[in-house]
């Protein structure tokens, strides 16, 4: 895409888009151009619709297709100043799947299977503080406040900084990791390049191997430990609004889904079938 790629990147940066979003959008638009062997500037609504249908026919999930749609909408509305090309572009309906959650014993198995203090600390930050993998990777030494027992989460998905509680076991593990690894730079988990954090892909690869070693059959990712944290916090009695703040969700609807997967909550709900044949059953309706 050449100059168009550079212009779109600058436009995305001006909106304050996250680096991951910028890379994803640019990649989507480059693949669009390669598919037709033409610059997007020479194409329009017909090619856009054909391309999105092509992605669907390839078997790509609705979420992946919608990212490409969002990228092309930004390209034509903002960078090319041709909003009419995407004005009537439908959004593919997504299936709402419940996230995978590990039990407390399964989390223990994963921690016991971990031989690296770095990986153990990363898992504990996900499960013990509910952090996203991107937040773990970007965590800096200055963000750890052992006096107030808090973690300052700065670079978040929705640009809303927050504080989360720092538990005693997590602080102990951070100190064990620090004494053993002695990481250089400002980041708690530095990457290979100076002053760059550990990449999310590196975390995913490491945890995939650890989960397999622990014998966990579930498809667990770094984000699974955040899901498990949220679900178990609800089961421990934390109210939904407080959990929303702890997780850094912009919308309460993102937090409410954990109500659907809390087995403790489901098991505690009354059932009308159990009341049949009892005095209470006769009062129903």
Catalytic residues: 132, 157, 223, 226, 249, 258
Q: How far is CA 219 from the centre of its chain?
A: 15
Among left, alpha and beta (phi > 0; psi -120 to 50; other), residue 16 is left
Rounded CA gap, 222 and 207, in Å?
Answer: 7
3-state secondary structure the chain: CCHHHHHHHHHHHHHCCCHHHHHHHHHHHHHHHHHHCCCHHHCCHHHHHHHHHHHHHCCCCHHHHHHHHHHHHHHHHHHCCCHHHCCCCCCCCCCCCCCCCCCHHHHHHHHHHCCCHHHHHHHHHHHHHCCCHHHHHHCEHHHEECCCCEEEECCCCCCCCEEEECCHHHHHHHHHHHHHHCCCCCECCECCCCCCECCHHHHHHHHHHHHHHCCCCCCCCHHHHHHHHHHHHHHCCCCHHHHHHHHCCCCHHHHHHHHHCCHHHHHHCCCHHHHCCCCCHHHCC
C-alpha distance from residue 176 to each of 70, 168, 171 (Å): 43, 12, 9
């Amino acid at each position: 895409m050449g100059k168009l790629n550079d212009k779109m990147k600058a436009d995305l940066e001006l909106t304050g888009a996250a680096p991951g979003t910028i890379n994803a959008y640019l990649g989507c638009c480059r693949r669009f151009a390669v598919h037709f062997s033409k610059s997007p500037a020479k194409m329009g609504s017909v090619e856009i619709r054909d391309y999105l249908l092509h992605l669907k026919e390839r078997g790509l999930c609705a979420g992946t297709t919608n990212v490409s749609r969002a990228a092309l909408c930004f390209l034509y509305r903002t960078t090319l100043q041709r909003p009419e090309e995407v004005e009537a572009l439908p959004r593919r309906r997504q299936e709402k799947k419940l996230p995978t959650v590990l039990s407390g014993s399964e989390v223990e198995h994963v921690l016991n299977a971990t031989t690296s203090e770095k990986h153990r600390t990363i898992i504990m930050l996900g499960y013990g503080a509910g952090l996203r993998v991107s937040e773990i990777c970007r965590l800096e030494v200055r963000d750890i406040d052992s006096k107030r027992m808090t973690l300052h989460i700065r670079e978040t998905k929705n640009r809303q900084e927050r504080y989360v509680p720092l538990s005693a076991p997590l602080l102990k593990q951070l100190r064990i990791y620090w004494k053993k690894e002695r990481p250089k730079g400002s980041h708690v988990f530095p990457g290979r390049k100076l002053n760059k954090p550990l990449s999310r892909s590196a975390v995913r690869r490491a945890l995939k191997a650890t989960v397999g070693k622990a014998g966990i059959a579930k498809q667990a990712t770094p984000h699974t430990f955040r899901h498990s944290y949220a679900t178990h916090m609800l089961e421990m009695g934390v109210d939904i609004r407080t959990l929303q703040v702890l997780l850094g969700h912009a919308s309460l609807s993102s937090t409410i889904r954990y109500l659907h997967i809390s087995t403790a909550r489901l098991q505690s709900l009354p059932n009308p079938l159990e009341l049949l044949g009892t005095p209470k059953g006769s009062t129903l309706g």
